[in-house]
Amino acid sequence: MNRLIHLNRLIGTLLLLCSLASAQYDFSLQIMDESENRSRAGTQQYEGTLEVITASNKVSVKHWKYRRIGSNGASKAILRFTAPAEVKGVALLIVNHTDRSSDQWMWTPAIARDRRIAAQDRSTRFFGTDFSFEDLEERDIDQFDYKFQDEESIGGLACWKIESKPKQSVSSQYTSSMLWIRKDNYLAAQIENYSSSGAHNGLSPVRSDKLVRRIRYSDIQNVGGIWTPRTVEVYDATRKSRTVLKLEKLEYNVPMKDEDFTLEALRHG
């Protein structure tokens, strides 16, 4: 769960880890586990406002509706654009798996066609935003190895700094990620994703890794008992552009049906 949108799943507390914090033990996995547990919800839906600010300060705004069923990496989600008019109806179905990368399909209503987003294309930008397709995945924490790094403050909030690396069997564009998990509510305050053109997956830090994206979470609110960041800001270090996602009308555990998360449902949205 070192990825982006579902950072609400990082919400939670891990009291046990507090007591272990002083011990000589790498408790990063427990922190992540607790973070995942705290964000767990059977379903989730919200209306998102997406603002893309380019390096030359050109701003474009889009809106989407997001619905998810399932959790802990075994989930399905549909994201459907609602505005502006030119993109209305364009949708993305994400089927996450606990043991591998997700499957994704995009629906384009103007030509009534769905297209599969190939695994090789997950590293590409998600339709001009600063998210990549991979950033939209929800991955189980077991797909990563974690290593406690330090304790650091982000915006005056005390955090654990944890390094995560995808396991050998997992494909990812990122060589490693650095997560700052808030001590007060186990929510991620910031994630930095790194990449290198060379080999990865080893546990030792790769010095040549380059920062690809930085994600910051703010505007934390408790919704239905789950602490959730209502604003997510992604910074693309290469392009020097930003994307700000604001979550509105956020709800958890709303009744949803599995059949609403199929290719058929995507087409008939």
Partner 1 sequence: MILLKLISWPYVRRHLPRWLLTIAGIVLGVAVFVGIHTANQSVVYAFHQTVDRIAGSTQLQISAGETGFDENVLDRVQAVPQVRVAVPVIEAVVSTGVQGQGNLLILGVDMTGDRSLRDYDLDSGDEAVDDPLVFLAQPDSLMVTDTYARENHLRPGAKVPMSTMDGQKLFTIRGVMKSGGLTSAFGGNLAVMDVYAAQKVFGRGRKFDRIDLALKDGANLEDVKGKLEALLGTGFQVQVPSARAQQFDSISRVYTLTANVTSVFALFIGMFIIYNTFQIAVTQRRSEIGILRALGATRRQIRTLFLGESVVAGLFGSILGLLAGIAIARGMTGYIGSLLGEIFGIAQKADEISTNPALMIFAVVLGVIASVVAAIIPARSAARVDPVQALQKGKYQQLSAGENRARRIAALIIAILAAACLLLERYRIFFYVGDALALLSALLLTPTFAHLLARALRPLLRWLRPVEGTLAADSLLQAPRRTSGAVAALMLSLALVVALGGLTRASYDSIFGWLSVALNPDLFISPSQSLTQRDFRFPESMGPQLRAIPGIGDVQLVRDARVEIQGKPTMFVAADVADLRRHATLPPVAGNTEEMFRLAAEGQAVLASENFAMLRGFKLGDVVDIPSPSGMLHLPIAGIVTDYSDEQGSLLIDRALYKRYWNDNTVNVFRIYLSPGASEGAVKRQILAEFGAQRRLFVLTNREVRRYILRLTDQWFGITYVQIAVAVLVAVLGIVNTLTVSITDRRRELGVLQAVGGLRNQVRGTIWLEALAVGTVGLILGLALGALQLYYSLHISAEDMAGLRLRYEYPYPIALWLLPGILLVAFLSAIAPAETAVRGSLVEALEYE
Site of interaction with partner 1 (CB under 8 A): 54-56, 60, 62, 81, 84, 86-87, 89-90, 106, 108-111, 113, 115-121, 124-125, 127-128, 133, 239-240
Of residues 108 and 253, the one with the C-beta less far from partner 1:
108
- Asked if omega into 205 is within 30° of 0 (cis), the reply is no
Q: Rounded to the nearest whole angstrom, what is the least distance from the CB of residue 86 to partner 1 in the complex?
A: 5
Q: Rounded to the nearest whole angstrom, what is the least distance from the CB of residue 77 to partner 1 in the complex?
A: 18
Q: CB–CB of 201/144 below 8 Å?
A: no
Q: Rounded to the nearest whole angstrom, what is the least distance from the CB of residue 235 to partner 1 in the complex?
A: 15
Of residues 44 and 104, the one with the C-beta less far from partner 1:
104
Q: Is 136 left (phi over 0), alpha (psi -120 to 50) or beta?
A: alpha
Q: CB–CB of 97/87 below 8 Å?
A: no
Of residues 86 and 259, the one with the C-beta less far from partner 1:
86
DSSP 143: G
Question: What is the dihedral angle through the alpha carbons of 248, 268, 7, 178, rounded to the nearest 10 degrees?
Answer: -130
Q: What is the DSSP string of 248-267?
A: EEEEES----GGGGSHHHHH
Question: What is the dihedral angle through the alpha carbons of 130, 132, 136, 137, rounded to the nearest 10 degrees?
Answer: -150
| Nearest Cα to Cα of residue 75 among 260, 213, 264, 250 | 260
Of residues 64 and 186, the one with the C-beta less far from partner 1:
64
Q: Rounded to the nearest whole angstrom, what is the least distance from the CB of residue 200 to partner 1 in the complex?
A: 13
Q: Rounded to the nearest whole angstrom, what is the least distance from the CB of residue 94 to partner 1 in the complex?
A: 14
Of residues 37 and 82, the one with the C-beta less far from partner 1:
82
